[in-house]
Structure 1
Amino acid sequence: METVDVLVVGAGLAGLHTAYLLARQGFDVVVCERRGSLATGIRTTGIFVRRTLDDFALLEPHLGPPVRRVLLHPPSLRSPVELVSSRDEFRVADMPGVYAEALSRARRAGARIRLGVPYPVTGLAARFTVGADGARSTVARRLGLDVNRAFIVGIEDVYPVAGSGAPPTFHCVLDPRLAPGYLAWVVDDGRHAHVGLAGDPEHLAGPLPRLLRAFAARFPDLPVPAGPVRRRGGVIPVGGVLRRLACPQGLLVGDAAGAVSPLTAGGLDPSLRMSELAAAVTGDYLRTGDPATLGRYDGAALRARFRGRLLLRRAYSLVRVPAAASVACGLLRTPPGRAAASRVLFGDGSFPDPAGRHQRLPAHP
């Protein structure tokens, strides 16, 4: 039986970033991932917000052109609300490239990566386990930690497009017939079109691929595919950060921890920020053996900072008819509505910095 300091379960962004930080501290780290390739089974849309790009080093070749313009469309797709930021607010990443770089960086730091290996790992014992295994975490259940119970499901097609000369634009469509409790979207940055939707699975009007085709057929400015389509999809937890995230046997990060904005469903920024705190707390615990150190990884404290967004999530989930979505878009045209939308889309409060600091990580250790 092989024994290691830390077993990280899941090689998504949260798992690989945590493994990298722990390996840099000198711990013997193994990452197991049931997928044989990180280029398959991608669930995230890959949309990075400005605050993430400011605080973390992401390699430029993996990022699409910056997006400053957002159009908020009612169900009719007529008269959208236009918001334009003075700063670069969004960039959509080539996620296979991001994962490949994160994997390479973790390996260079000393972590051992085992692809195509499911959890639990036969013949391997770990002093501590980090669950980065997604919204329906097996690690959480095995360790008796909290599990996600509120979800939306999403689907997205990505394909290259010929640049039209129009400014890169993020189209958001509020239509409960297609995306009950969330939205449909098109991000056209001049290189790729990202066409997707997500919603409450209990109120979807049909299978996601069919709804996505219906959405694409209705959208007037949707670019014609100029190359092969890549499809992404999966379950997104939107119930907020879970309360009980750690025990003496392990802890949770990323989607497994519910580290997704309840309102926007963005999970890339939280995965990086919570991974930093998780790595620091894990390192202190392994060095001292003091269970009290795990108290710093407090999901209840983080959750308390999201009361407003959780309330907005519940309110938005009640919008069930197109007329209500049209009224909501009308309110967004008022000065208070535009200010509120700009704050959500362009504000600095993407996710609390649980470590109490901003750390810009080097691209190469």
Structure 2
Amino acid sequence: MQDPRYDVIVVGAGFAGLACARELAVRGPRVCVIDRKQDLGERIHTTGILVQEACDAPLLAGLPPSLLRAVPHVRVYAPNLRSVRLGAHGYRFHTTDTPALMRWLGEQAEACGVEVRRGLAFRDATRTPTGWQVDGVGPTRVLVGADGARSRVARRLGLGQVTQFLYGVEYEFDGMTLREPDALHCFLSKRFAPGYLGWVAQTPTGVQAGLARRYRAGGTPAPDMAGFLAHVAPMTGLDAARRPDSIRAGLIPCGGPVAPMRADGVTLVGDAAGMVSPLTAGGIHSGLRHGAAVGRMLAAHLSGRATSSVPPTPPVPGFAFKRLLRWAFDHAQWDLPIDLLLTAPPMRRMVEQLCFHQRGEQVPDPATAD
């Protein structure tokens, strides 16, 4: 009987896939990552805004400082553009040069012993006595689908699929500087971002501005980026008339974990598994954590060190509170209450908890200083 060429084939060289592959490779299994892109920095869909916890992930250890920019504060705007500036002691968000970051992550995975095969799309896989035969790649004991919210692995092999999305657009402006560059600017507005928000942030290379709205198949207009940029320009210092240097757009999963997430010899990770916040659609930290946890557990099972009490995949979060807030965003989002209540203590505490996962603090506001 043919011995599998690989212990694990990971489909998709995003955050979750590379985190999974790294944890496997450093523990001994033979790992191959395939990705349809020749350049891992091409056609990026993620915003590249990292929470503090993501920066502590093993996959990002040794990340060159030039690829990150610390953003210590969050400024949240009501629809009428009144705002509150928040922070938390020792907590930072980070923006990135996302294409450069993805290229670097691919190189780091290769340095750990992962074989990364670029320009190779997943087409299909068939069951074998020892695992899977992946078209165009070869045999493997285990197959991992890390190929995003529209996972072909999930679709071909009968696993759960993401069904709830936001539709987002993001512009990049090279060399531009915001009036307040040390804050992540978040705009709540049913007019421009029903079901989500708009954002503007300073990056290592310029400014990124994005807008997302609830996606409904067959009836979702594109986000009004021109109108949004003109609306927020007085608050951010953006030149609303300037053409963006690059544009990203795509669907963002927001429905929570899928089911089933695994079957015999195959599992999903990251966006493919729906491991994103149902409220914020933040998936980088969740993807890094979930991919790494699955990698460690698969390595234990492949080596025979795991016991029957060790699950083949990590526990799945319920996101109960965030699911409730997602429902409210979808069905009960009104601008007037936010205009009136954004700066009230209860609303501020809820925003602090969502932003910082802890009690934050209202910080001095340079916009109102004498």
Q: TM-score, normalised by structure 2?
A: 0.84
1:163–1:207: structure 2 CA closer, same or farther, 3 Å change rule? closer
Shift in alpha-carbon separation, 1:294–1:177, aligned structure 2, 3 A: farther
Among 108, 112, 120, which residue is 1:109 paired with? 112
- In structure 2, which of residues 314, 317, 320 is the aligned counterpart of residue 307 of structure 1? 320
Match of 2:79 in 1: 75
Say whether residues 1:338 and 2:348 are aligned partners: yes
Supply the distance in 2 between the matched residues of 1:213 and 1:130 (Cα, whole angstroms): 39
- Note if 1:126 corresponds to 2:140: yes
Residue 193 of structure 1: aligned partner: 207
- Structure 1 CA distance for aligned equivalents of residues 226 and 309 of structure 2: 50
Between the aligned partners of 2:18 and 2:204, the Cα distance in structure 1 is 30
Correspondence for 1:288: 304
C-alpha distance in 1 between matches for 2:71 and 2:150: 32
1:188-243 Cα distance to aligned partner (Å, 9 max, x none)? 358521101111123976323xx111111221234238896122221111111224
Paired residue secondary structure (1:262) = coil
The answer (yes or no) to whether the contact 1:254–1:274 under 8 Å persists in 2 is: yes
Instruction: Count matched residues.
Output: 340
Q: Quote the sequence identity (%).
A: 34
Shift of 1:328: 2.2
**Structure with the higher helix share, 1 or 2:** 1
Contact map agreement 2:270 2:290 (CA 8 A) in 1: yes
SS of structure 2 residue aligned to 1:285:
helix
1-structure distance, mates of 2:77, 2:208: 16
Return closer, same or farther for 1:97/1:223 CA change in 2, 3 Å cut-off.
same
Contact 1:63–1:91 under 8 Å retained in 2: no
Distance, in Å, in 2 between the alignment partners of 1:279 and 1:108 is 17
Give 1:229-308 correspondences, 5 Å limit: 229-288=245-304, 295-298=311-314, 301-304=315-318, 306-308=319-321
Does the CA contact (< 8 Å) of 1:319 and 1:325 recur in 2?
A: no
1:136 aligns with 2:146: no
Contact conserved, 1:243 with 1:303, CA < 8 A, in 2?
no
Relative to structure 1, is the Cα distance of residues 218 and 72 closer, same or farther in structure 2, using a 3 angstrom cutoff?
same
Distance 1:17 1:62, change over 3 A: farther
Note the C-alpha offset of 1:156: 0.3
Residue 152 of structure 1 and its aligned partner are, at CA, apart by 0.8
Residue 168 of structure 1 contacts residue 189 of structure 1 at CA under 8 Å; is this kept in 2? no
Q: Which runs of 5+ in 2 are unaligned?
A: 124-134, 360-370
* Structure 1 gaps, min length 5: 350-365
**Structure 1 contact 7–129 (Cα < 8 Å) conserved:** yes
1:243-300, Cα deviation, whole Å (9 max, x unpaired): 42222221111100111111111111011111121011211222239895773415xx
Helix, strand or coil at the partner of 1:37:
coil
